[in-house]
Amino acid sequence: MKKSRFAILLVVAVAAASLWLEARGSIARSTMNQAWEYKFEYGCNEKSANLAGAGGWEMVSFGSVNLNGSGSFSDTCVFKRPKQ
Statement to judge: residues 81 and 40 lie in one domain: yes
Strand, helix or coil at 66? strand
Statement to judge: residues 44 and 65 lie in one domain: yes
Statement to judge: residues 26 and 45 lie in one domain: no
Statement to judge: residues 12 and 41 lie in one domain: no
CB-based contacts of 77, cutoff 8 Å, min separation 6: 40, 41, 44, 48, 49, 52, 59, 61, 62
The whole-angstrom separation of Cα 69 and Cα 17 is: 55
Statement to judge: residues 21 and 40 lie in one domain: no
Statement to judge: residues 70 and 44 lie in one domain: yes
Work out the pLDDT band at 68, boundaries 50, 70, 90: confident
- What is residue 11's predicted lDDT score, i.e. its pLDDT? 45
- What is residue 3's predicted lDDT score, i.e. its pLDDT? 53
Does the pTM surpass 0.75? The reply is no
What's the number of domains the chain is made of?
2
19-56 pLDDT, tens digit each: 555 666 655 555 678 899 999 998 899 999 999 999 99
Statement to judge: residues 16 and 40 lie in one domain: no
Which residue range(s) make up the domain with 50?
Answer: 35-84
The whole-angstrom separation of Cα 79 and Cα 25 is: 26
Statement to judge: residues 6 and 21 lie in one domain: yes
47-65 pLDDT, tens digit each: 999 999 999 999 999 998 8
